[in-house]
Structure 1
Amino acid sequence: MDNIVGQRSALTWAVNFAVIFMVVLWTVPTFGLLVSSFRDRDQITTSGWWKSLVSSEQNIIVRSQEPEKNVKDGDLYVLEGNIFDATSGEVRAFGVNSREPMAFLPGAVAEMAKGRTMTVAENGDYRITSVEEMTGTRGIRIFATSVTPPKFTLDNYERVLFSEGIWRSFINTFTVTIPATVIPILIAAFAAYALAWMEFPGRALLVAAIVGLLVVPLQMALIPLLRLHNSIGIGKEYLGIWLAHTGFGLPLAIYLLRNYIAGLPREIIESARVDGATDFEIFRRIILPLSFPALASFAIFQFLWVWNDLLVATVFLGNTEEQLVMTGRLRELLGSRGGDWEILAASAFVSIAVPLLVFFTMQRYLVRGLLAGSVKGG
């Protein structure tokens, strides 16, 4: 007989495999994003993050010093320098034009126009000679194929936190998220207790309306609600976006908390009423302590939703430099710096660091809160 109590299901392996697959599916890209955030632009464009611990080969085009800086050495005029500047690397081949960028091995002498010659050593030192004095302020192009050792840097985070305006947006996001999480919890807790344990006319209709609001797209209310905020003078202010997130989050909060509170043992509440406790005392001393898993579960959902929100923040807060949130800032970076992947990687990881911390801190309450109300008290 299948599915006997105490016997492991034959599909346990499938469940375990699915869980492992989902963990890997989300963990690997996140780890790759973290690694990329510590790499410079050249390394990101030439190799994937999984090759971050090995040397990478890349074709580079650099310019020498200004020809006017040449110095006379005997009968020749010489211009010297290093193609790697402050970095290090190994030259595999070099060239003097784009048609043959790897025509010469390191140390070879390449003939150029106007009687000039060029040689590039393995360490990147170049030497350009000319029988005539070189003039001009634009450097001579040097084509090279180099092998660059692995390199990790904190410059990306320094630019993000102090040069790209992310820190200001980070603070703005906290300013929006914390009140937008706390306010609906406070309101929903009172409403959930009333709908679960207080008798009054129309209670069933209110519960049905709350369930109906769960499926209403918030986009339908954006423009009417914004017009209302503008008419009462709270448009494009923090108070307006706090109230907007509160309104959009209340249906789920009330529904979740009501199911949990309704599942609490009736004997506890009836005993408290027999002892003369008021509804407020029952709520404050009994309901709130016992409902902490459900409160924490909704807090996780609300915090993650508000932190990652872009639509509501754009509509109700705007895009000014003083009010731009993290998602808006990342959108600006993506729009104006589509090629600066190292900046985008660092910015994205700064953005997800706080939600990850909140989730892993309170995850033990998540399942208990989601299963709230599945078993009613007798």
Structure 2
Amino acid sequence: MTTKVATPSSSEPQNAKFSISRLRRSPLTILVHLSVLLIVILWTLPTAGLLISSFRDKDQLALSGWWTSLTASKQNLVARTDNPDTQVKLGDVYVLSGQLLVNDTQTEIMAFGFSSREPTKFLPSEVAEMRKGGKLTVSEDGHYKMTSPEPFTGKRGKRIFYTAVVPPKFGLDNYREVLTAEGIGRSFINSLTVTIPATIIPILIAAYAAYALSWMKMPGRNLLIALVVGLLVVPLQMSLIPLLRLYNDIGAFFGVGAKTYLGIWLAHTGFGLPLAIYLLRNYISSLPREIIESAKVDGATDFEIFMRIVLPLSFPALASFAIFQFLWVWNDLLVATVFLGTGEEHMVLTARLRELLGSRGGNWEILTASAFVSIAVPLFVFFVLQRYLVRGLLSGSVK
């Protein structure tokens, strides 16, 4: 009689090692996930705050941050009494009375005053001694009573300054003011007129250049590639004014006036070409060599190879650059101001939104709504082409 002794299989130690290894890696994995979550929160938090602020009341937005948008806040307000025609004579004094908290969003009076220098001098129910023997009393619920030994005169009521606790208030007033501003529709069309050609033109030129630098043999090709990479680090501000002077000189020679769309198209094309050539060249050079060589053996010319093979296969790279170029041109203000000026006929959307603030930055609260109005079109373009973005950027990095 033989007895079989159970022995562990060879796979059990491997499974045990795998479990131990997985346990050892789990803290690192958790740390990576927490780091990514923290980066996402830090990246989206300002945008979320901007979105919340765009729906807040202007007065509350000017007094407190967006993180207090769900709590009540104190606001210094001013109101007027009823017209002097409604005054009533009681004995030897004339009386004006009424209610300050006519708005349901205001709940409680914290302090009041009759002068802009001391708007919170008196507490509710206190008697404020005014000039010429007048008196003012304001209760917590907003009821006021103003008395004077002489008749009230004037066409408008007297001012009363008060501090009230106001609950959070949201609405579409900021968006309504931006969207109904004069000339906003014209500026939207101008931005599209600038952005669409300034995105298509550099793509067309860069695609030809990228194919030539990838598959066509020519003297100095490596030097040209290095030159393109070097142009990526040239600051726009250094070349903007010389480029404008060159354009004006050439335009004057050919009789083309300044402040035209042609100038800004050429400017954005020049500034966007280095990045376009760099991205497209990386992608096109990573295409299988066998496809190109087979096409040449079959008698195809470089132009036919580019149009029928390379261009269709390069759509992810074209889409990724189109996203970058569209976002850059759409949000541009500096180049548009230099080449188009601030005239009503050619003013782009970013310049129009800046004009809404005035020369001294007044009415700055509408910047929150303006930001989301201006990013509506870029968001649409991004979500349409975003699946090609990563593919185009990572192309050529792994062989």
Do these two structures clear the TM 0.5 threshold for a shared fold by scoring above it?
Answer: yes
SS of 2:398's equivalent?
Answer: coil
Question: How far does the alpha carbon of each residue in 1:152-196 deviate from its partner, in whole angstroms, 9 at most, with x for none?
Answer: 121211111112544433332222111111110111111111221
Which sits farther off after the overlay, 113-122 or 201-210? Answer: 113-122
What secondary structure is seen at the aligned counterpart in 1 of 2:275? Answer: helix
Q: Structure 1 pair 337/354, CA: closer, same or farther in 2 (3 Å)? A: farther
The alpha-carbon distance between structure 1 residues 229 and 31, as it changes in their structure 2 partners (threshold 3 A), is: same
The letter of the residue matching 2:341 is G
Residue 101 of structure 1 corresponds to 120
Structure 2 CA distance for partners of 1:246 and 1:84, relative to 1, 3 Å: farther
Distance 1:339 1:123, change over 3 A: farther
Residues in 2 aligned to 1:218 and 1:95: alpha-carbon distance in whole angstroms: 55
Mapped pair 1:144 → 2:144: no
**Identical-pair percentage:** 66
Task: Return 5+ residue gaps in structure 1 as ranges.
Answer: none
2:37 partner letter: I
- Name the residue aligned to 2:135: 117
Corresponding residue to 2:308 among 282, 285, 288: 285
Paired position in structure 2 for 1:128: 146
Separation in 2 of the partners of 1:292 and 1:331?
Answer: 36
For residue 261 of structure 1, report the CA deviation from its aligned partner: 0.4
C-alpha separation in 1, matches of 2:62 and 2:271: 41
* Paired residue total: 371
Moved more, 37-46 or 78-87: 78-87
Q: Quick one: distance in 1 between partners of 2:364 and 2:35? A: 32
Aligned to 1:176: 194
- 1:111–1:311 CA distance, 2 compared to 1 (3 A): closer
Q: Which has the higher contact order (CA 8 A, sep 6+)?
A: 1
Which of 73-82 and 182-191 deviates more? 73-82
**1:109, distance to aligned residue in structure 2 (A):** 5.2
Q: Secondary structure at the match of 1:58?
A: strand
Flag the 1:220–1:116 CA change in 2: closer, same or farther, 3 A: closer
Aligned counterparts of 1:50 and 1:164: Cα–Cα separation in 2: 32
Report the TM-score, using the length of structure 1 for normalisation.
Answer: 0.87
Superposition deviation, residue 78 in structure 1? 3.0
TM-score by length of 2: 0.83
Work out the CA distance in 2 between the residues paired with 1:120 and 1:201: 88
Counterpart of 1:323, as a letter, is: H
Which whole-Å deviations, capped at 9, do the CAs of 1:178-223 have from their partners, x for residues lacking one? 1111110111111111221122333333222222222222333222
Q: What pairs with 1:295-334 in structure 2 (closer than 5 Å)?
A: 295-334=318-357
Provide the rounded CA distance (Å) in 2 between the counterparts of 1:203 and 1:145: 73
**CA shift at 1:92, angstroms?**
2.6
Q: How does 1:237-316 map to 2 (within 5 A)?
A: 237-316=260-339
- Quick check: 1:160 aligned with 2:170? no
CA RMSD, aligned part only?
A: 2.9
Q: Is the 8 A contact 1:91 1:144 kept in 2?
A: no
* CA deviation after TM superposition for structure 1 residue 87, in Å: 6.0
Three-state SS of the structure 1 residue aligned to 2:200 is helix
Distance across 2 between alignment mates of 1:175 and 1:189: 22
Conservation of the 8 A alpha-carbon contact between 1:260 and 1:369: yes
Cα distance in 2 between the residues matched to 1:26 and 1:336: 31
2:226 aligned with 1:208, yes or no?
yes
User: CA-to-partner distance for each residue in 1:309-357, whole Å, 9 max, x for gaps?
Assistant: 2221121111112222233234434453534232121112212333333
Alignment partner of 1:33 is 2:56:
no
How much has 1:83 moved relative to structure 2?
3.1
Partner of 1:357: 380
1:357–1:19 Cα change, 3 Å: farther
Q: Which structure has the larger Rg?
A: 2
Evaluate the alpha carbon distance shift between residue 293 and residue 226 of structure 1 in structure 2; reply closer, same or farther with a 3 A threshold. same
Q: Note the residue ranges of structure 2 that are not aligned, 5 or more in a row.
A: 1-16
Shift of 1:96: 3.2
- Cα displacement string for residues 133-155 of structure 1 (whole angstroms, at most 9, x for unaligned residues): 11134643323221112221212
**Amino acid in structure 2 at the alignment position of 1:270:** E
- Going from structure 1 to structure 2, the CA distance change for 1:11 and 1:328 (only over 3 Å counts) comes to farther
Residue 57 in 1 paired to residue 80 in 2? Answer: no
